[in-house]
Structure 1
Amino acid sequence: MFLFLKSLSRSVHHEEQQEESDQKYLKKIDHGMSLTVWRKSLVISCNGFTVIDSQGNLVYRVDNYIGHPEELTLMDASGKSLLTMRRRKKLAMVDSWFVYEGDRDHENCRTTTTTKKRPVFCVKKHINILQSNSNVLAHVSYYHERSSKRSAYTVEGSYMNRSCKVLDEWRRVVAEIRRKEAAKTGASFGVDVFVLVVEPGFDPGFAMALVLLLDQMFS
């Protein structure tokens, strides 16, 4: 299946580049990129995610994904921890997560791959009983322990339908989740294989971390 996805990713992304050249979805980090996300781990005994680029190369992986864990780790292709997401336990009524750089150590509240000890972002599920038809899914804030949290991004759309947009403070789209379709037939692969489009200047690793948290909040 992974080899099939690699081949399919090349053909689909090539066709997208031909048909959507005006949108400039170039397949480089500094110019934005388009990733194929497979909701399955390459490790047999684990559930998780596998993410490949338009050349079929493994970019990100998640192997510690069973049920609704309290902590998730996004790794690169070699298994190095890039971001750690930990569920915030204080607010039981609202699904909130802290995002740390590197591999967060449980006992000492520090990261082993970076000197930062505090989370860099807080991601909170949007809940508003007065606006049941709101398409806002989550709010992303810069984390400041002693000051008010400043809004950084808003996620809107429908994760269940794999149709979401991440918007910055100026309502500009910085990342987008889309259904993946076969290049020739246009057939959809369902919800387990989809596309993550990342615009220039936005960290694709953080975009993938948001995918993981949306999956926790809305699956």
Structure 2
Amino acid sequence: MAKIYPNSPISSSPLASISAESQPATLTVWRKSLLFNCSGFTVFDSKGNLSFRVDNYSSASRTEIVLMDAAGKPLYTIRRKKLSIADHWHIFDGDASASRPRFSVRKHVSLLPSKELAYMTTYGREEGIIYGIEGSFSHRACAVYDDRRRQVAEIRRKEPVAGVAFDGDVFRLIVQPGFDAGLSMTVVILLEQMFGSRVRDLKD
């Protein structure tokens, strides 16, 4: 198997350095926790340094997922809305100790074929979409657009290395300058919850 991350997983790349770059940041997302008996995600920057992680123990809540930095500090908490018929999630800053979420994310539901996957609004302002997600998550080919139709993040398949192709558990996350890389990773987590073929692995 081709090497996914070139450097030690304990080295880290500060979140600020990702968001402040003048060029798009290319992250490698691995749908695997580095901890034994956990499921989740491990995310590396272009230099192979650990940037983000999601570690879900088997006894973890089915309705709450925490995105952490390399040191284990909570950046965002994703919590499913109670009594929600369709997929409806709230995003909190940090460990969700704040009384109010920051964002709401809903799965797009339509009887007709659509390239729309989900949309994000500011919590409490459900009528004003600030980010839309389109494409195919199962094919690792989708993008996030802001309210002016500018692409701020993209999910794509990882290129083969030395002739060895990666499966869908390893893919790229391209983040445009000025967009929060952590927030873009919350989109990945939510798309996995909504559309992932192995969604039960992350919830159980």
TM-score (normalizing by structure 2): 0.84
* Pairing partner for 1:117 from 90, 99, 105: 99
Partners of 1:204 and 1:54 in 2: how far apart?
13
- Runs of 4+ with deviation above 6 angstroms: none
Q: Does 1:88 align with 2:67?
A: no
Return the match for 2:153 from 166, 175, 184.
175
Higher helix share: 1
Number of residue-to-residue matches in the alignment: 184
* Structure with more strand by fraction: 2
The one-letter amino acid of 2:64's match is E
Structure 1 residues 148 and 127: alpha-carbon distance in aligned structure 2, compared to 1, 3 A threshold: closer
CA–CA separation in structure 1 for the residues paired with 2:34 and 2:126: 40
Contact 1:65 1:72 in 2 (8 A): no
Where structure 2 has 5 or more consecutive residues not aligned to the other structure, the ranges are 8-16, 197-204
1:176: Cα distance to partner? 0.2
Paired residue type of 1:214 = L
Structure 1 residues not aligned, in runs of 5+: 9-26, 105-110
- Amino acid of the structure 2 residue aligned with 1:122: S
Note the aligned Cα RMSD (angstroms): 2.1
Question: Separation in 1 of the partners of 2:34 and 2:144?
Answer: 27
Q: Secondary structure at the match of 1:5?
A: coil
Among 122, 126, 133, the alignment partner of 1:155 is 133
Please identify the structure whose Cα radius of gyration is greater. Answer: 1
Question: TM-score, with normalisation over the residues of structure 1?
Answer: 0.78
Higher relative contact order (CA 8 A, sep 6+): 2
One-letter amino acid matched to 1:57: N
Mapping of 1:72-87 within 5 angstroms?
72-87=65-80
**In the aligned structure 1, how far is the partner of 2:61 from the partner of 2:155?**
21
Share of identical aligned residues, percent?
Answer: 47
Out of 38-47 and 28-37, give the one that drifted further.
28-37
Q: Within 2, Cα distance between the matches of 1:165 and 1:6?
A: 24
Which of 44, 48, 51 matches 2:36? 44
